A and B are shown apart, each in its own frame.
Chain A
Amino acid sequence: MDGKKAAILGEIPRLRRYALALLRDRDAADDLVQDCLERALSRLDNWQTGESPRRWLFTIMHHLFIDQIRKVDRRGEAAMLSLDTDEALAAPAEQLDTIASREIVNALHAISPERRAALVMVAIEGFSYAEAANMLGVPAGTLMSRISRGREELRGLLEDSARRRTLRVVEK
């Protein structure tokens, strides 16, 4: 196996995490990673040597994700699930072991795909603003506002679901 392939192989766990954070569903996330790897391997020449394979792969994955979101939009389906906590809590637990982590996953999924991608790249994947702006193909100012708005929205949703949980406890 050549060095390029070995480097790509090493990025798979990070790609899976990014895809899972974007899509929430494990199978869908791995399908996205699969598409990303297939596209990457078919364009191995586009990867400039010396450049981090991580940024190159994340850029490919982001484009695929955005394409997918647009397709879903065109079909008229809701691109985002509503934050119906009761329904979400009734859903199979998947990898989410606690109510707190389930709530943050649901909240993250309820914010717009653009804000979600920006927030995940910076807050979870640890990319700098400059790197993330570059991969997402937006100006630095746009990235910053997606991050701050995304974070505020996420917090608001979490506070809403905490309030609803308290209400339910009180009603019982």
Chain B
Amino acid sequence: MTRRDFSERDIHLALDNELPGDERAGYEAWLEANPEMKARSARYASDNEALHAAFSDVLDEPVPARLQNIVIGETVANPPASRSKWWFAAAAVLLLSLGGVGGYFAGAIGLDAEVGPADRLAEEAIAAHVIYAAEKRHAVEVPASDKDHMQTWLSNRVGLKLVAPDLTEDGFELVGGRLLPASGSSKAAMLLYEDASGNRISLFVISESAAKTAGVYNEEKDGPTAVYWLDRGYGCAVVGTLPNDRLNEVAKRAYKQLVSSIWS
């Protein structure tokens, strides 16, 4: 064991694993003999833990698509502004093809159709809708009265810039939202809406998707229907038990607003 005098400086060295191994025992003995220094070391150690706790959630979050795309995309050389326009254009093309089929989502419209993830999105969205839309008092975690907070929170958790679409033209008011697990380790945002006669629809939004497709999904004849679309980096399903043409109208309005908020 090396003999030397220790000082406050060594508290930092020890905390940061910079104290040589052969000085460790001497340091510990010094701490024991100096209660004030020992207390200081404990306070610094707990500050370290608090720092870790405050920021480490971000490690478990899915990487936002916009960051991932910089690395794996082919548009690296372009300045950011033109990249987002490029994405917006791609989304607009999808919207046109959705609206183009007589303004009606007739069956699955496959654009590079990849059935797996789309079915999964639709199934998860329907399952969430069946459980939560039936709840009277506990349908949402954050009520519409706290909309700004809800949007910030869900955007952060899901990894997309999420603005709850305004569906009042279709007669639907926002009830609120909640965070849900989605397939893989990702997270989904669920936004619930209600019309004057108590019909409820939900929007189920995810940020992870490699497929590009859109369609309509219905599990059971009288069960809710999901109108969904997936694009690279995000996906959404609108679920409800409305007549098909009304659900499509609402879905289109929601889609336009969601896409423009995501790429705003």
Identify which of residues 8-34 in chain B touch chain A, using a CB-to-CB cut-off of 8 Å: 8-9, 12, 15-18
The closest CB in chain B to the CB of A104 belongs to B50
Q: Give the residues in chain B near A108, CB-CB below 8 Å.
A: 51
Q: Indicate whether A104 sits within 8 Å of B54 (C-beta atoms), given known contacts A9-B68, A34-B80, A37-B67.
A: yes
B70-78, B178-186, B198-206, B233-241: which lies at the interface: B70-78
Q: Give the residues in chain A near B148, CB-CB below 8 Å.
A: 92
Q: Kindly provide the distance from the CB of B85 to the nearest chain A CB, expressed in whole angstroms.
A: 16
- Residue A38 interfacial (CB < 8 Å): yes
Q: Indicate whether A94 sits within 8 Å of B152 (C-beta atoms), given known contacts A13-B61, A148-B12.
A: yes
Q: Give the residues in chain A near B47, CB-CB below 8 Å.
A: 104, 151, 154-155, 158
Q: Kindly provide the distance from the CB of B156 to the nearest chain A CB, expressed in whole angstroms.
A: 6
Q: Give the residues in chain B near A14, CB-CB below 8 Å.
A: 59
Q: Give the residues in chain B near A33, CB-CB below 8 Å.
A: 67
The closest CB in chain A to the CB of B76 belongs to A41
Is A17 a contact partner of B68 (Cβ separation < 8 A)? no
Q: Kindly provide the distance from the CB of B6 to the nearest chain A CB, expressed in whole angstroms.
A: 14
Q: Is the interface of B mostly helix, strand, loop or mixed?
A: helix
Q: Indicate whether A124 sits within 8 Å of B63 (C-beta atoms), given known contacts A37-B70, A148-B12, A151-B12.
A: no
Identify which of residues 85-122 in chain A touch chain B, using a CB-to-CB cut-off of 8 Å: 92-96, 100-101, 104-105, 108, 119-120, 122
Q: Give the residues in chain B near A100, CB-CB below 8 Å.
A: 50
Is B53 a contact partner of A34 (Cβ separation < 8 A)? no
Q: In the docked arrangement, what's the CA distance between A38 and B77, Å?
A: 8
The closest CB in chain A to the CB of B53 belongs to A101
Interface string of A67-78 (1 = CB under 8 A from B): 000000000000
Q: In the docked arrangement, what's the CA distance between A54 and B218, Å?
A: 46
- Residue B1 interfacial (CB < 8 Å): no
- Residue A1 interfacial (CB < 8 Å): yes
Q: Give the residues in chain A near B36, CB-CB below 8 Å.
A: none
Q: Indicate whether A41 sits within 8 Å of B70 (C-beta atoms), given known contacts A17-B56, A30-B64, A144-B12.
A: yes
Identify which of residues 134-172 in chain A touch chain B, using a CB-to-CB cut-off of 8 Å: 144, 147-148, 151, 154-155, 158
Q: Kindly provide the distance from the CB of B133 to the nearest chain A CB, expressed in whole angstroms.
A: 27
Q: Kindly provide the distance from the CB of A43 to the nearest chain B CB, expressed in whole angstroms.
A: 11
Is A101 a contact partner of B54 (Cβ separation < 8 A)? yes
- Residue B43 interfacial (CB < 8 Å): yes
Q: Kindly provide the distance from the CB of B42 to the nearest chain A CB, expressed in whole angstroms.
A: 11
Is B18 a contact partner of A128 (Cβ separation < 8 A)? yes
Is B72 a contact partner of A1 (Cβ separation < 8 A)? yes
Q: Indicate whether A34 sits within 8 Å of B48 (C-beta atoms), given known contacts A104-B54, A155-B43.
A: no
Is B44 a contact partner of A155 (Cβ separation < 8 A)? yes
Q: In the docked arrangement, what's the CA distance between A94 and B58, Å?
A: 12
Is A21 a contact partner of B51 (Cβ separation < 8 A)? yes
Q: In the docked arrangement, what's the CA distance between A154 and B15, Å?
A: 15
Q: In the docked arrangement, what's the CA distance between A49 and B188, Å?
A: 38
Is B58 a contact partner of A13 (Cβ separation < 8 A)? yes
Q: Give the residues in chain A near B15, CB-CB below 8 Å.
A: 123
Q: Kindly provide the distance from the CB of B39 to the nearest chain A CB, expressed in whole angstroms.
A: 11
The closest CB in chain A to the CB of B54 belongs to A101
Q: Kindly provide the distance from the CB of A86 to the nearest chain B CB, expressed in whole angstroms.
A: 18
CB<8 Å pairs between A and B, sample of 13: A5-B72, A20-B58, A41-B70, A41-B71, A92-B152, A93-B149, A94-B156, A95-B57, A120-B51, A122-B16, A123-B51, A129-B18, A148-B8
| Additional 19 contacts, C-beta under 8 A, given A21-B54, A41-B76 | A9-B68, A12-B63, A12-B71, A16-B58, A17-B56, A26-B156, A30-B67, A34-B80, A41-B70, A93-B153, A94-B152, A94-B156, A100-B50, A104-B51, A104-B54, A122-B16, A123-B16, A123-B51, A155-B43
Q: Point out residues on A near B: beta carbons under 8 Å.
A: 1, 5, 8-9, 12-14, 16-17, 20-21, 26, 30, 33-34, 37-38, 41-42, 92-96, 100-101, 104-105, 108, 119-120, 122-124, 128-129, 144, 147-148, 151, 154-155, 158
Closest 5 CB pairs of A and B: A101-B54, A37-B70, A104-B50, A13-B59, A12-B63
